[in-house]
């Protein structure tokens, strides 16, 4: 009897753990899945929390007119047979009030391969998750124009998130250029 209660307790505890505590694990799994679909399965993923140099972040923030979410971003370096295949940068921007988590994949020259909004946390503006909208960024790099209404279409009912995410992706493109050039 006591054993059964223990097992039941264990299951319930686990369910609570899974549902409340491990959302970040879901995101981690999703990122790995995306990396593998982008670069194939026979790759090595090197993950690090990348501290952005103050000089670099101020320069980019000034150009894009949006602050970085924090002092660091998450950097994935993807290698295959000791050769760098590409990169991914995971970062956040603020929507109307809550963070929007997104990831940008780059080839080894810093050209965007794909973008993906991993988590959207508000009622309005969730359309920035739409894959069709994200396709517009493919091929862009640090030198490209990211103007909304021209290169990037706006979305009705998602004005603020379109604005934030577009700027966030442009910041990533500028930052990856710095990272590649610094040889890290």
The residue range among 24-32, 34-42, 56-64, 76-84 that interacts with other proteins, by the rule CB under 8 A, is: 24-32
**At its nearest, how many Å lie between other proteins and the CB of residue 150?**
6
Non-local (6+) Cβ contacts of 155 within 8 A are 125, 127, 128, 130, 133, 161, 162
The residue range among 53-61, 78-86, 89-97, 106-114 that interacts with other proteins, by the rule CB under 8 A, is: 89-97
Sites for other proteins among residues 107-126 (CB under 8 A): 120-124, 126
Q: Which is nearer to other proteins, 14 or 109 (by Cβ)? A: 14
Under the binding rule (CB under 8 A), the answer on residue 92 touching other proteins is yes
* Count of residues of this chain found to bind other proteins when the rule CB under 8 A is applied: 47
Number of H helices, E strands in the chain: 5, 5
List the structure tokens of 41.
């399965």
Which residue in the block uniquely carries the two structure tokens 């069709």? 132
The residue range among 50-58, 108-116, 156-164, 167-175 that interacts with other proteins, by the rule CB under 8 A, is: 156-164
CA distance linking residue 43 with residue 21, whole number of Å? 29
By CB neighbour count within 10 A (0-12 exposed, 13-18 middle, 19+ buried), where does 144 fall?
middle
**Residue 77 main-chain phi, psi, to 5 deg:** -110, 125
Q: Give the interface with other proteins as residue ranges (CB under 8 A).
A: 2-3, 6, 9-10, 13-14, 17, 21-25, 27-28, 49, 69, 74, 92, 94, 96-99, 101, 120-124, 126-127, 129-130, 132-133, 147-150, 153-157, 159, 163
């Amino acid at each position: 009897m006591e054993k059964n209660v223990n097992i039941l307790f264990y299951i319930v505890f686990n369910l609570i753990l899974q549902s409340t505590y491990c959302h970040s694990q879901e995101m981690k799994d999703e990122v790995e899945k995306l990396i593998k679909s982008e670069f194939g399965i026979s790759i090595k993923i090197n993950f690090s929390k990348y501290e952005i140099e103050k000089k670099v972040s101020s320069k980019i923030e000034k150009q894009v007119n949006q602050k970085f979410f924090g002092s660091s971003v998450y950097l994935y370096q993807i290698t295959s047979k000791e050769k760098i295949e590409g990169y991914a940068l995971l970062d956040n921007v603020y929507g109307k009030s809550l963070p929007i988590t997104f990831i940008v994949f780059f080839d080894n020259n810093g050209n965007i391969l794909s973008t993906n909004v991993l988590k959207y946390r508000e009622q309005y503006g969730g359309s920035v998750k739409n894959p069709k909208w994200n396709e517009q960024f493919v091929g862009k790099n640090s030198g490209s124009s990211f103007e909304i209404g021209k290169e990037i279409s706006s979305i009705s009912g998602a004005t603020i998130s379109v604005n934030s995410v577009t700027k966030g992706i442009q910041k990533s493109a500028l930052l990856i250029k710095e990272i590649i050039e610094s040889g890290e």
